[in-house]
Structure 1
Amino acid sequence: METIEYGMYTMCMIQEGNKILLQKRPGERGFPGFIAPGGKLEFPESLTEGAVREVREETGLIIKPEDLIYKGLDEYVDPQNNFRYMVFNYLACEFKGELLADPPEGDLIWVDVNEAANLPMQSWFKRRLPLFFKEGTFEISIVWDEEHQKTIEDKVRLLK
């Protein structure tokens, strides 16, 4: 039986009224453009502990795990390399603290939620962005053919 490798990440959209907090990531940090805070889970932390830690490290804001709203899963599967990349997405509307003066992942900017999609960002984040604000949860599943460099399956489901 072949070993399957898993990459587990969190992303947390922070909202205050009609504004959301985004990072403007420079190209040298990877994934250039605007994006929500998040990152790789550290073993053995839970999903919510990882989301809380990433928000604190990248923004300086403090979120309680019980204030997180689970919004959905975005996964990328590469069967040829036995790899599954999973991002667990959260929304936080309650937080405390001050934004970092010199954030490690890029400038932090409060953006009107209705204007955010007009900013430069990765296509996968632009696709996911409106799903944070829909009722229920979402599931995005992409199966990739590495040999032919193309998508085999691409599904978006909105769940109750």
Structure 2
Amino acid sequence: MCMIQQGNKILLMNRPDAKGFPGYIAPGGKVDFPESIVNGAIREVREETGLIVKDIIYKGLEESCEPNTGLRYMVFNYLATSFEGELLEHPPEGELLWVDREEALKLPMQDWFKRRFPLFFEEGTFELSEVWDEETGRILDETIKHYPAGLSQGASWAD
């Protein structure tokens, strides 16, 4: 998933019910083997919006695990602050809308995206992990971590 920011505005798409995950969401999708995760994010943005993102920053990981089925679903999240190109006139995944960042959470969107939304704009990276039960729809366990930008005091890289 890649949030695109231009000044105080962000680009969201309004996904229709038929596409799954209805409501406003950032562009994203599946990674094609053998492309890298970041190249998959760049490609998905181009396919869904027509824009070619330039300055792209890794922001964090969200994963969901379902122990009864063994499913693990991982979303790598990026923030792009520059791009080239023009928006598609007929985007394939839903209507595109530039919206003020402060107004975005007033739009209809999935709860999981609403929870993740502010993390794109905080310094450093994040990690969200949840274990959920598909039958009941309940979250059984959750871990939320924030990592500051750069190395922590006293940490160093080994040669």
Q: TM-score, normalised by structure 1?
A: 0.90
Task: Establish whether residue 63 from structure 1 lines up as the match of residue 27 from structure 2.
Answer: no
Q: Give the Cα separation in 2 of the matches to 1:149 and 1:62.
A: 37
Shift of 1:28: 0.8
Which residue is 2:137 aligned to?
149
Deviates more, 1:78-87 or 1:149-158: 149-158
Shift of 1:150: 1.6
Equivalent position to 1:84, from 52, 72, 84: 72
SS of the equivalent of 2:83 reads: coil
Shift of 1:79: 1.4
How many residues are treated as equivalent by the alignment? 148
Which residue is 2:14 aligned to?
24
Equivalent position to 1:44, from 34, 59, 82: 34
Equivalent position to 1:117, from 105, 121, 127: 105
SS of the equivalent of 2:91 reads: coil
Letter in 1 for 2:35: E
Equivalent position to 1:96, from 84, 94, 101: 84
SS of the equivalent of 2:29 reads: strand
Shift of 1:147: 4.5
Q: Give the Cα separation in 1 of the matches to 2:135 and 2:20.
A: 23
Q: Give the Cα separation in 2 of the matches to 1:23 and 1:94.
A: 18
Q: TM-score, normalised by structure 2?
A: 0.90
1:28-81 residue CA offsets vs partner (Å, 9 max, x unmatched): 1111110000001111110111000000000000124xx210000000011111
1:108-159 residue CA offsets vs partner (Å, 9 max, x unmatched): 0000001101100000000000000001001110101234432111222111
> Which structure is larger by alpha-carbon Rg, 1 or 2?
2
Equivalent pairs: percent with the same residue?
A: 65
Output the aligned Cα RMSD.
0.9
SS of the equivalent of 1:43 reads: coil
SS of the equivalent of 1:153 reads: strand
Label 1:106 to 1:148 Cα distance change in 2 as closer, same or farther (>3 A): closer
Q: Give the Cα separation in 2 of the matches to 1:100 and 1:147.
A: 39
Task: Establish whether residue 132 from structure 1 lines up as the match of residue 120 from structure 2.
Answer: yes
